[in-house]
Structure 1
Amino acid sequence: MNNKFLIYSLVGLLSSGAIGGIVLSNSKQAQSLPASGNAQQSRSVRVDRHFIEMMIPHHQDAIVMADLALSRGRRPEIKKIAASIKQAQTREITEMRTWYKQWFGTEVPNHSMTDMGMMGDHHNQGQKKGSGMGTGSGSGMGQGMGQGMMDMKMDIDALKTAKDFDKEFVRQMIPHHQMAVKMAQMASGRATHSEIRTLAESIIKSQNAEIAKMQGWQQAWH
């Protein structure tokens, strides 16, 4: 998996609104925008929405990996961090689903990564036609994200059959956490709702701490 490319794809999507086609697709969503019509506030609302839509499936992948670690991990520290990841991220998913329903009047969409890629492509094509833009940072971003998530699924499959599960778990979970931290850093300074900002700061703090632990284990085990 090209983790660096996937990180930039997700962060770029969060900041540029490359899936804007699903952000303002109905009247309930439009009503969620600030009454003042301030453009900056509107962008902040989109950040809140994008953050939840991206972070939930990201958390779900971490939980899949944590479940594997609880059953296949050999070292007690792996089982301990897996249990912590599962507990924290399950709770955060529940919180984000509740907020999304309250703020946007609907459930979090269950879009596949392929669907998101197609939406991003359609949005970028619209930019090309409407403004002459198409070679900027958002162009092709959705497609790259979809490919990145397919690569992540392949890595999870590899984790299931890894000869040294613990080492492979750490090798994959570090960049996975780093991706979440990048997304949270974007949201912490741009989100409208204080709940998102607080959650983002919590993710940054907790997952950076877990990254440091796992990097220490990598050095010790090698």
Structure 2
Amino acid sequence: MNRSLASLLVFGVLPLMPLAACSTTPSAQTATEQAETVGFETVETETAQMDHGSMNHGQINQSGHTGMDHASMDLGPADDTFDLRFIDAMRLHHQGAVDMAEEALQKSDRPDVQELAQDIIAAQQTEIAQMQEWRQAWYPDAGDDPVMYHAEMGHMMPMSQEMKSNMMMSMDLGPADDEFDLRFINAMIPHHEGALVMAEEALQKSDRPEIQELAQAILDTQQVEIDQMRQWRQDWYGQ
């Protein structure tokens, strides 16, 4: 997996698409003000309006794959707020997986997919709740809005609403037809791969045993699920 940190942006999963500017939302501006209480470097309005990349995360290409590029995932330096950025990114990313898994429970007829979806929901909802507890305990003054690291500018900033959505990587998987499971697999594999990229970075940069343990659990569990989905894709669709 290409884990290059040469990014325009931080930990969004950027597709190979032209850049598109995204503007500051009221919630993001509030987070900027809150950031001052914990020593975050604040961002001017024009900074928040810089190009964040057009994610186009809700589309699957003609081959059935999402075409995500994990090369530009970067949570920033191993500083005092690295774990905050990891938590904020992974909570959103997990929620996107939960959303797609819930859709699979509604639309898939295969017991294997149903079981996988239930496992994803159970594991990732538990991890979301745990990360929320850590966030409140470790960063009580951080505010409610998730933050990110802007690699090009070299400092943290609040996520815009678009960035929150892009970090989730969730999408409408379409009707409950004969190829629903293929679309689910082709969406969930790159989604899991994005989680692996962030977990590997956390193993390298976080000093907290709790984050290290969670990152290793994500690597172990989601790699197994990726391998299983690839096997299903081959067995069921010859791909």
The answer for the alignment partner of 1:87 in structure 2 is: 122
The alpha-carbon distance between structure 1 residues 151 and 63, as it changes in their structure 2 partners (threshold 3 A), is closer
Gaps of 5+ in 1: 32-41, 128-132
State how far apart, in whole Å, the 1-side matches of 2:127 and 2:163 are.
23
- State the SS of the aligned residue for 1:26: helix
What do the CA deviations read for 1:17-45 (whole angstroms, capped 9, x no partner)?
A: xx9x96x9233x349xxxxxxxxxx8343
Pair 1:25 & 2:35 matched: yes
The answer for the alignment partner of 1:13 in structure 2 is: 10
The answer for the alignment partner of 1:206 in structure 2 is: 221
State how far apart, in whole Å, the 1-side matches of 2:192 and 2:126 are.
17
TM score, norm. by length of structure 2: 0.62
Conservation of the 8 A alpha-carbon contact between 1:62 and 1:173: yes
TM score, norm. by length of structure 1: 0.66
Conservation of the 8 A alpha-carbon contact between 2:97 and 2:168: no
State how far apart, in whole Å, the 2-side matches of 1:64 and 1:78 are.
14
Superposition pairs of residues 47-196 of structure 1, within 5 angstroms: 47-106=82-141, 109-111=144-146, 120=150, 124=152, 127=153, 146=163, 149=166, 152-153=169-170, 156-157=171-172, 159-161=173-175, 163=177, 164-196=179-211
Conservation of the 8 A alpha-carbon contact between 2:87 and 2:131: yes
Give 1:204 deviation, angstroms: 0.3
How many pairs does the alignment contain?
176
Gaps of 5+ in 2: 12-27, 41-76
Identity of aligned residues (%): 31
Aligned-residue Cα RMSD (Å) equals 3.8
The alpha-carbon distance between structure 1 residues 151 and 202, as it changes in their structure 2 partners (threshold 3 A), is closer
What do the CA deviations read for 1:84-140 (whole angstroms, capped 9, x no partner)?
A: 0000000000000000000011476345xxxx78x84xx85xx4xxxxx9xxxx9xx
State how far apart, in whole Å, the 1-side matches of 2:143 and 2:120 are.
22
The answer for the alignment partner of 2:74 in structure 1 is: none
Structure number with the higher helix fraction is 1
Give 1:206 deviation, angstroms: 0.3
